[in-house]
Amino acid sequence: MKKTVKLICGILALSLLFSLAACGESGKSVANGTASKQDGNTLLGNVKFSDYVTLGVYKGVEVDTSSDDFMKSYKSMIASDVTENGLDSSEVYSELKTSQVQQGDIANIDYEGKKDGVAFSGGTAQAHDLTIGSHSFIDGFEDGLVGVNIGDTVDLNLKFPESYHSAELAGQAVVFTVKVNYVKRPDMNKIYAKLGFKSVGEYSADLKTRTAESFAAETVVKNSKISGDLSGFINKLFNARCERENNRLKSLYGIGIDDALKKLGMTKENYKSQMKSKLETEIKESLIYYAIIEKEGLKIEYDLPESEKTGVALLDEMSRAKYVAEEIISENTVIK
């Protein structure tokens, strides 16, 4: 029983506390959900999205592929290709002992975190593999390692987010002392064939286009503004994610989310409080995607009976909205 509880806690920690990516069906599938000219409401409700969103320019976005920001995204995309396609990192990464840390690297590090000069629980590790650009550590940690020489030790002055799950560390200033032991870097010469490309050049061209499209979408989100009360949207998103996780936990372990949270000493309100920042970020991005679709005179159409308009269906709809909006952006992106 202890083993099961530990596994459930791990699932909650990883798939709920740290991962808020939309996990419905792929937005690339148009079955039972496409952009159309028909009238109707989204599963978020009968919403006029322009009341909440002031869109930035979303057509004709220029992407400078020589910029440092673009190259940062480009290298992170290579690392994503490896993980999302289930490639064995030991086969497609090369280990380096003389270089500087780059985006997309797996950096092997020793680190110790201190608050007011005293090491805090859970803040120390040796020989830890950290993918730079994964956002698995607090803001500033991974970016603070970019450019550091292998073998060097640096102090990172950081601050835990206000919504961090530990009350002792939430909103607190800390210092992480980090030593970079070595890095493992994705090798395109080892990757391209495993992904079905005929040459490094073909893979590189595809990678450049995909990165530019993603970069353009991120630019649109950054340049758009959100206003108004978002609490209703956030509640729907939170409930949808709880519903999906509840179904998953019951299917795998015969235990619902309420009982799983109890084993962690948490209530749904505690959990929601910890998720607040990530929920806000995700719903703001989704509202922007819906606003683009609305601006184009389109909507996400579903042929669903009322009884099937569930929270899980909402996550799927949000995923489709993201895909449709990004297609609109990418079709008009100017790659320089």
**Strand spans (E) along the chain:** 34-36, 53-54, 62-63, 93-96, 106-115, 118-131, 153-159, 173-186, 225-226, 299-301, 334-335
Cα–Cα distance, 120 to 78 (Å, whole number): 34
Contacts of 187 (CB under 8 A, 6+ apart): 92, 93, 94
**Is residue 112 included in any domain, yes or no?**
yes
Same domain (yes/no): 50, 104: no
Cα–Cα distance, 145 to 180 (Å, whole number): 8
Contacts of 61 (CB under 8 A, 6+ apart): 216, 219, 220, 329, 332, 333, 334
pLDDT at 268 over 90: no
**Is residue 292 included in any domain, yes or no?**
yes
Cα–Cα distance, 302 to 200 (Å, whole number): 40
Query: Helix or strand or coil: residue 148?
Result: coil
pLDDT at 65 over 60: yes
**Is residue 146 included in any domain, yes or no?**
yes
**Is residue 219 included in any domain, yes or no?**
no
Same domain (yes/no): 229, 330: yes
**Is residue 85 included in any domain, yes or no?**
no
* End position of a domain, from candidates 186, 214, 249: 186
Question: Tens of pLDDT along 298-334?
Answer: 877 666 666 667 788 899 999 999 999 999 999 989 9
Cα–Cα distance, 179 to 23 (Å, whole number): 35
pLDDT of residue 307: 67
Q: Which domain holds residue 296?
A: 2-58+224-335
> Do residues 148 and 99 lie in contact, with contact meaning Cβ atoms separated by under 8 Å?
no
Q: Which of 178, 129, 175 is nearest to 151 (CA)?
A: 178
pTM (2 d.p.): 0.72
Number of domains comprising the chain: 2
| Tokens at 189, concatenated | 């010469």
Question: Tens of pLDDT along 131-163?
Answer: 888 888 888 999 999 999 999 999 999 998 887
Same domain (yes/no): 110, 159: yes
Cα–Cα distance, 98 to 102 (Å, whole number): 12
Torsion of CA 118, 121, 124, 125, to 10 degrees: 170
Q: Which residue has the higher pLDDT, 181 or 301?
A: 181
* End position of a domain, from candidates 135, 156, 186: 186
CATH number where 111 lies: 3.10.50.40
**Is residue 63 included in any domain, yes or no?**
no
pLDDT at 34 over 80: no
> Which residues share a beta bridge with 111?
125, 178
Amino acid residing at 121? S
Burial code (b: 16+ CB inside 10 Å, e: under 16) for 213-251 equals bbbbbebbbeebebeeebeebbebbbebbbbbbbeebee
Cα–Cα distance, 333 to 336 (Å, whole number): 10
Q: Which of 98, 111, 116 is nearest to 145 (CA)?
A: 111
Query: How many other C-beta atoms are found inside a 10 Å radius of the C-beta of residue 168?
Result: 10
| Tokens at 231, concatenated | 């609490």
User: What is the pLDDT confidence band of residue 263, given thresholds at 50, 70 and 90?
Assistant: confident
Average pLDDT over residues 89-100: 87
Amino acid residing at 111? Y
> Do residues 172 and 295 lie in contact, with contact meaning Cβ atoms separated by under 8 Å?
no
pLDDT at 35 over 80: no
- State the residue for tokens 């003389």: 98
Question: Tens of pLDDT along 45-62?
Answer: 888 999 999 999 999 999
**Is residue 269 included in any domain, yes or no?**
yes
pLDDT of residue 1: 28
* End position of a domain, from candidates 136, 166, 186: 186
pLDDT at 16 over 50: no
Same domain (yes/no): 49, 102: no
**Is residue 16 included in any domain, yes or no?**
yes
